């Protein structure tokens, strides 16, 4: 016994103190990982060198009977799989919307992010229209081939300014040193630009007539401006600027509304992109996740608890830098390529030009119908005034009832968040939208 004690004491003396501490810490960490794995994490699995994690064992036991209808992306074949098997199929399986859902992708309002996140949630087979409303897609909504319309909504003034700046960046100028080609300019405008006959005319218009400055066309849109009539025509020549009134004309125009059959469009879903004053970021990605949940529940018919479970089981990529890099690439923004100093050496950098009060006012009034559409989305019915004691704007009347329900999707909390974002858009422009205050020239003096 004494010999054993001597051996142990000599062993401890041989090991350096730091190594002993490190060994003890390692043992503690290993024990902790084992506990966490046993009680909280059901499993890890590897696919193509990407490590994935699925959720806790208890939740897994409660939903083992859920079967997901897998629509294979290429063949369109259907098969029933467990939730875990569905996700292990990676890109081969999708939650198919069967083209009953149409997405009107309005330019410069987060549409690329919406598509990316829906794909990430494995939601596919939507009908889509971009950068203008397709007559075929409108007809599908009118006849009921598609009965749900998703439209991304951004403050109309912000959207136009963003579109003007973005087109100024991605279109090739006469002395451009970038590689001309449509493909790479969207995600890599530092090295590529777009060109073509129509694009050359568009680029020339913005550069030569309006000096690549959205404020110039905004002020030209003042009703008392000598350039007003020409500016109205020029507005429509800039891509990605199609207003809400154009996208939704079949719902608000009396003659076109009569073309909607009894079994036609049932739901309009507004997906607002708005960063409210004082907020660090917008709720846009939250809206998209709630949309995914809503589509699984309402279109695919899953119980809400099952839909929530299915989305929670989506693999979380661990240490996957490629995914994050790709995600950042999709978040292209004209802001990155505008500089407050025109001294920047890059030929495609556009000097930063904020709107003047006059420009903001005149552009707001030019887009008055869009703001009235947003106000209409805040109503529940044609005659409802309970939710808006003093509406900022006079809503549109005699529109399709689905427009009044544009925020009536998802949970009660989600509906309120949707309304708050739309109201924020109206509040920011309320001073300029009130025509009783006089002309823009008089109220911005």
Cα–Cα dist 151/265, whole Å: 13
Q: Which of residues 294 and 72 earns the better pLDDT score? A: 294
pLDDT score, position 273: 95
Q: Which of residues 431 and 279 earns the better pLDDT score? A: 431
Cα–Cα dist 270/103, whole Å: 10
pLDDT-derived band at 49, boundaries 50, 70, 90: very low
- 154 in Cβ contact with 135 (< 8 Å): no
The reply to whether the predicted model has a pTM over 0.75 is yes
pLDDT score, position 249: 98
Cα–Cα dist 131/213, whole Å: 22
pLDDT score, position 383: 57
- Classify burial at 371, counting beta carbons within 10 Å of its beta carbon; exposed 0-12, middle 13-18, buried 19 or more: buried
pLDDT-derived band at 4, boundaries 50, 70, 90: very low
pLDDT score, position 329: 55
pLDDT-derived band at 251, boundaries 50, 70, 90: very high
> How large is the C-alpha radius of gyration of the chain?
28
Phi, psi of 354 (to 5 degrees): -70, 160
Flag whether pLDDT at 284 surpasses 70: yes
Flag whether pLDDT at 75 surpasses 90: no
pLDDT-derived band at 95, boundaries 50, 70, 90: very high
pLDDT-derived band at 275, boundaries 50, 70, 90: confident
Q: Is 226 helix (H, G, I), strand (E, B) or coil?
A: coil
Per-residue model confidence as pLDDT tens digits over 80-93: 999 988 988 877 88
Which two three-digit tokens encode residue 105?
A: 């992708």
Per-residue model confidence as pLDDT tens digits over 287-346: 999 999 999 999 999 999 999 999 998 886 544 555 555 555 555 544 455 443 333 334
Average pLDDT score, the chain: 83
Query: β-strands 350-351, 338-339: how paired?
Result: parallel
Flag whether pLDDT at 48 surpasses 50: no
pLDDT-derived band at 78, boundaries 50, 70, 90: confident
Which two three-digit tokens encode residue 26?
A: 């390692």
Which two three-digit tokens encode residue 295?
A: 């589509």
Q: Is 214 helix (H, G, I), strand (E, B) or coil?
A: helix
Share of the chain above pLDDT 70, in %: 74
pLDDT score, position 103: 98
> Residues 39-52: what's their mean pLDDT?
38
The H-assigned helical ranges of 205-282 are: 214-220, 228-235, 244-247, 249-252, 254-257
Cα–Cα dist 148/394, whole Å: 26
pLDDT score, position 126: 93
Which two three-digit tokens encode residue 364?
A: 């707001």
CA distances from 41 to 174, 208, 309 (A): 58, 61, 15
The domain spans of the chain are 97-281+353-443
The H-assigned helical ranges of 237-367 are: 244-247, 249-252, 254-257, 284-298, 304-312, 321-330, 357-366
Cα–Cα dist 388/392, whole Å: 9
In the block, tokens 């805040």 appear at 378
Which two three-digit tokens encode residue 125?
A: 């087979």
pLDDT score, position 390: 72
């Amino acid at each position: 016994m004494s010999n054993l004690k001597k051996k142990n004491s000599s062993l401890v003396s041989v090991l350096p103190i730091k190594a002993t501490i490190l060994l003890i810490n390692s043992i503690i960490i290993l024990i902790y990982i084992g506990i966490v794995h046993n009680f909280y994490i059901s499993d890890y699995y590897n696919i193509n060198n990407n490590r994935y994690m699925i959720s806790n064992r208890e939740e897994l036991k409660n939903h083992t009977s859920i079967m997901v209808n897998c629509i294979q992306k290429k063949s369109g074949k259907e098969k029933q799989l467990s939730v875990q098997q569905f996700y292990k199929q990676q890109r081969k399986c999708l939650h198919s919307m069967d083209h009953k859902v149409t997405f009107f992708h309005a330019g410069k309002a987060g549409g690329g992010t919406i598509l990316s996140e829906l794909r990430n949630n494995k939601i596919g087979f939507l009908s889509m229209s971009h950068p203008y409303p397709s007559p075929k897609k409108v007809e599908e909504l009118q006849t009921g081939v598609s009965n749900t319309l998703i439209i991304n909504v951004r403050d109309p003034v912000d959207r136009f300014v963003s579109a003007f700046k973005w087109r100024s960046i991605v279109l090739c100028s006469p002395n451009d040193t970038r590689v001309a080609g449509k493909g790479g300019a969207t995600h890599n405008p530092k090295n590529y630009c777009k060109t073509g006959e129509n694009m050359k005319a568009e680029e020339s218009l913005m550069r030569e007539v309006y000096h690549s400055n959205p404020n110039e066309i905004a002020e030209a849109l003042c009703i008392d401006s000598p350039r007003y009539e020409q500016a109205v025509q020029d507005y429509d020549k800039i891509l990605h600027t199609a207003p809400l009134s154009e996208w939704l004309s079949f719902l608000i125009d009396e003659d076109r509304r009569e073309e909607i059959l009894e079994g036609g469009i049932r739901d309009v879903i507004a997906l607002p992109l708005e960063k409210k004053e004082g907020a660090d970021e917008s709720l846009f990605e939250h809206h998209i996740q709630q949309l995914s949940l809503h589509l699984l529940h309402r279109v695919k018919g899953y119980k809400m608890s099952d839909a929530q479970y299915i989305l929670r089981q989506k693999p979380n990529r661990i240490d996957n830098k490629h995914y994050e890099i790709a995600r950042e690439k999709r978040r292209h923004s004209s802001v990155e390529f505008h500089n407050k100093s025109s001294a920047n050496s890059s030929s495609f950098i556009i000097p930063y030009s904020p709107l003047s009060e006059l420009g903001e006012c005149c552009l707001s009034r030019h887009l008055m119908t869009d703001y009235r559409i947003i106000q209409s989305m805040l109503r529940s019915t044609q005659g409802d005034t309970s939710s808006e004691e003093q509406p900022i704007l006079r809503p549109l009347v005699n529109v399709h009832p689905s427009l009044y329900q544009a925020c009536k999707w998802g949970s009660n909390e989600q509906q309120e968040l949707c309304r708050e974002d739309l109201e924020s858009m109206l509040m920011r422009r309320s001073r300029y939208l009130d025509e009783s205050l006089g002309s823009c020239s008089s109220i911005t003096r």
